Chain A
């Protein structure tokens, strides 16, 4: 029977075995530097939390229900320990980074802006062709262990990027979107947006209508369950849009060009449970850039591409979606400014303003055009300005066309120059800081 003496013996031995195999793995050893140290502590906290639970074994005289509950909690813990093996290759990646150093510095700057100073950024090449992230992946289990006190003081953020993209600097503004997920977790940004829906009568009426419509499709589920599912979808879409806006606030229009190059070949107006359609994402992103007064800058060297993207954004109004996606789509369009404002208030201390960076971006673009390392003629250029200047030069070299922005991704000389300039800019800035 589950929870009997033999079951306990098996479960405790198995949990000890799984914990030991992680703890004794050389990849969980102390890393040579600071990078990966917080991720390691986070894994060790998970082991500590499980070991704390193991010590709470109920006595033989305990009721069967209590013994079964303890047995289940051990099984949950073992599942979690087995899942934690995924973190070992991440720790290896910190010892032999393959990401461009300039990109790493720039991404760390984005992480400090979006999440805070106490972060541990771990960049991992991904065998699957996708940019993904996870942040404090075991936190919920650690924090839900009564009586256990974790030791990790910094937030580990793991960013996965496609194996082939380590040096594709022009794509790396996508990292700012990925770090946005950690920012959403750290500051409960999705909850902040959802609060606005609470007092919106139009939203409530539309929500009731969507539940009624879906009841004819999801016939096995009662209205509260249907409502919970739609609510879950809404939260995922809010988070993705927030991450887009956080990326724009942090890295400016470079995000849009990277996003289009990566995401548009994968989908156009198709909604997914985890992501809004690209038409809606582009529409809201372009509107947000215009509110930030970026449109003249973008049109200055990419009028054709920007007109094409605006057309795609306009399709958010013309391509109909089925329920419940049409409900999500309409409500998020209605509350686009709320999403933008939530992102803007998070980044207010370090937002990328066009007026602050345009002349530096132009300087960087001109230097790159002459194959001069664009570190800066008088003072070091800021990394974010160098990246923008790099995109300007990408348009000049490869054309203001859809195929031009794709061709730019193959320009390794251009991207090497951008990466090296960012790296040296950070080094120069660090040296000059007392």
Chain B
């Protein structure tokens, strides 16, 4: 079994949070001066790809993510976008339908920033939805990292389940 210290889990949880905060920092750099450098462009494009993968999962739950990293990265994105949709809509059906649209617009925003198309006046307001979104991912992962560090037990209460059915 994987280690009881859960260091690999801590590392992957922290790495995802660090990545989300790197996206926020890259977004801001992309709106300043001469625009994003190559590394920031790649980071922003990769973030847009993760949002695309999240949209695919929202539209088709049985779709298989390409890797464990993709599965891990799209989980918090999915959770945040669902609550984002719920806050802007009273109707459950309507909020579910809004999820793919929100993700598509955020991905488009990141790709514009990656191409250096969001420089100058008005840029901070333009990038705010994406920066807020990835900031929330960073916050969520920081809470999770602290939880992994201080506890060896899984506290996923909502996944509680019976393990065996009765024989009768």
Residues of chain A at the chain B interface (Cβ within 8 Å): 53, 56, 58, 62-63, 65-66, 68-70, 72-73, 75-77, 79-80, 82-84, 86-87, 126, 128, 130-135, 137-141, 143-147, 158, 160, 178, 181, 188, 190-191, 194, 197-198, 204, 207-208, 211, 217-218, 220-229, 231-232, 235, 240, 269-275, 319-326
Chain A CB within 8 A of B15 CB: yes
Q: In the bound complex, do residue A79 and residue B14 qualify as a contact, i.e. CB atoms below 8 Å apart?
A: yes
Q: In the bound complex, do residue A188 and residue B67 qualify as a contact, i.e. CB atoms below 8 Å apart?
A: yes
Question: Please, how many angstroms separate the alpha-carbon atoms of A228 and B4 in the complex?
Answer: 23
| Neighbouring B residues of A134 by C-beta, 8 Å | 2-3, 5, 7-8
Residues 35-69 of B, flagged 1 when their CB comes within 8 A of A and 0 if not, give: 00001000100000000000001100110111110
Shortest Cβ distance from residue B115 to the other chain A in the assembled complex, whole angstroms: 19
Q: In the bound complex, do residue A70 and residue B21 qualify as a contact, i.e. CB atoms below 8 Å apart?
A: yes
Question: Please, how many angstroms separate the alpha-carbon atoms of A141 and B18 in the complex?
Answer: 8
Shortest Cβ distance from residue A159 to the other chain B in the assembled complex, whole angstroms: 9
Shortest Cβ distance from residue B61 to the other chain A in the assembled complex, whole angstroms: 4
Question: Please, how many angstroms separate the alpha-carbon atoms of A160 and B14 in the complex?
Answer: 24
| Neighbouring B residues of A319 by C-beta, 8 Å | 164, 167
Identify which of B62, B66, B142, B161 contacts A324 (C-beta below 8 A): B161
On whether A65 and B28 interact (CB within 8 A), knowing A224-B78, A228-B78, A322-B164, the answer reads: yes
| Neighbouring A residues of B165 by C-beta, 8 Å | 320-322, 326
| Neighbouring B residues of A225 by C-beta, 8 Å | 75, 78-79, 82
| Neighbouring B residues of A274 by C-beta, 8 Å | 1-2
Q: In the bound complex, do residue A63 and residue B124 qualify as a contact, i.e. CB atoms below 8 Å apart?
A: yes
Shortest Cβ distance from residue B103 to the other chain A in the assembled complex, whole angstroms: 11
On whether A224 and B68 interact (CB within 8 A), knowing A72-B142, A144-B19, A160-B3, the answer reads: no
Question: Please, how many angstroms separate the alpha-carbon atoms of A86 and B65 in the complex?
Answer: 32
Q: List 18 A-B contacts (CB under 8 A).
A: A62-B28, A72-B135, A76-B14, A83-B10, A83-B148, A130-B1, A132-B2, A133-B3, A140-B14, A227-B61, A228-B78, A232-B71, A240-B1, A271-B164, A319-B167, A320-B164, A320-B167, A323-B161
